[in-house]
Amino acid sequence: MNLMSTVIAGLSLGAIYALVALGIVILYKASEVLNFAHGTIAVLGAYVTARTVDILGFFGAVVAGVLAAALTALLIERLLVRKMANAPVVSLAIMTIGLEVILNTELTRQIGVDILELHQPWGTEAIEIFGALVPWNRILTIVFTFVIVLIFLAAFRFSSWGVSMRAAAEDREAAEIVGLKLNRIAIVSWATAGGLAAMAGIFLTGAPSAGLTSSLAVIALRAFPAAIIGGLDSVAGALVGGLIIGMVEAFAITFQPELSFLGLGLGDVIAYLVMFLVLLVRPQGLFGRKEVVRA
């Protein structure tokens, strides 16, 4: 494998992680929840797409998948997170772990040992870039993610949703006092995060991977180290964290023979190793804000 294709593989993998991590960051800012079920919501989106693709066609199925994921996230907010508004952050995180257990078990059971195909119209077509054969799926993933992240960076800065969300993340009580609708912010945030996760899931099942398998949730889980590395409260951090994880992983896979002293399957765990190193130096992540307290 040459260097160029490794870089592109890293970029596209990183873009997928960034999409999921972006959702994690949005939820953390909007509701102060670390949603452990977020990786599985990505799988859910891909699953619904795979199941409906024969009836609705690919783009119809994508809409269905994204809507299903957004709706699920919305229901989680309405039925569970809202009810626990006064619970400690750790209790909320554990609640989403319970949710993750249920969702993940059900999806694993539904998918079983099958490989579900999503029939992406670009299929396995590849294009040659600097002598490296790159699947279109990867190019599209990268382009889509960068556009999305740019939109979100702008939205956070300029849109009223972004401004009010930042205000809410800063100080919930003060935001409520000046008349911001925390309810509405939370609803928009959860639906958006769910939809983004579904898109990530759909890209993740495209070439070069064969389709949707039950092991996808383990891969999606690595968006969490990405979000942590970037800093849980930073949109730009989600992008950078995702790209770091994606790159490191792609290189670990390419250079597996040279790195064999570190064991087989290094690519599966190196994300966590990087996360450790970052947390050692910066406990709040690369772009996360350190809480300065004057006591």
Partner 1 sequence: MRNFISGPARWVVLAAAVVVALIAPLYLTAFWLQLLFSISAIAVGAIGLTLLTGTAGQLSLANPFFMVMGALTYVVMSSPVDETGKLIGFGLPPIVGMISGVAVAGITGLIFSPIASRLSGIYLGMASLGLVFLSLHILNNVTPVTGGYNGRRTPNFEIFGIVFGRSENPIVIGGVPFGRLEWLWYLGIICVVLGYIFAKNILRSRPGRALRLIAAGDLPASVAGVHVAGYKARIFFVSSLYAGLSGVLFALSIGSIAPQTFDLALALQFLAMIVIGGLGSVGGAVAGAAFVMSLPILLQSALSNIPLFSGGALTTAYLSKYVYGAAIILVLLFKPSGLAGMWDSLITRLARRKNSSSNTAVPPHQRK
Which residues of the shown chain bind partner 1 in the complex (CB under 8 A)? Answer: 34, 80, 83-84, 87-91, 93-95, 97-102, 105-106, 109, 224-225, 228, 232, 263-266, 268-269, 272-273, 275-276, 279-280, 283-284, 293, 295
3-state DSSP of 186-216: HHHHHHHHHHHHHHHHHHHCCCCCCCECCCH
Encoded amino acid at 213, one letter:
T
Of the pair 135, 246, the CB lying nearest partner 1 is at 246
- CA-CA distances (angstroms) from residue 112 to 46, 67, 119? 15, 23, 19
Cβ distance to partner 1 smaller for residue 97 or 210: 97
The distance of closest approach from Cβ of residue 118 to partner 1 in the complex, given in angstroms and rounded to an integer, is 24
**Closest CB to partner 1 among 83 and 181?**
83
Supply angle C-alpha 150, 154, 157, rounded to 5.
Answer: 145
Tokens of 183: 């309810």
Residues 206, 141: contact at Cβ < 8 Å? yes
CB of 182 to partner 1, least distance (A): 20
Nearer to partner 1 among residue 34 and residue 168 (C-beta): 34
We find the least distance from the C-beta atom of residue 103 to partner 1, in angstroms, to be 8
Q: Which is nearer to partner 1, 148 or 221 (CB)?
A: 221
Strand bridging mode 132-135 / 126-129:
antiparallel
CB 20, min distance to partner 1, A: 14
Least distance in Å: CB of 227 to partner 1?
8
Pairwise CA distance, residues 253 & 236, whole Å: 26
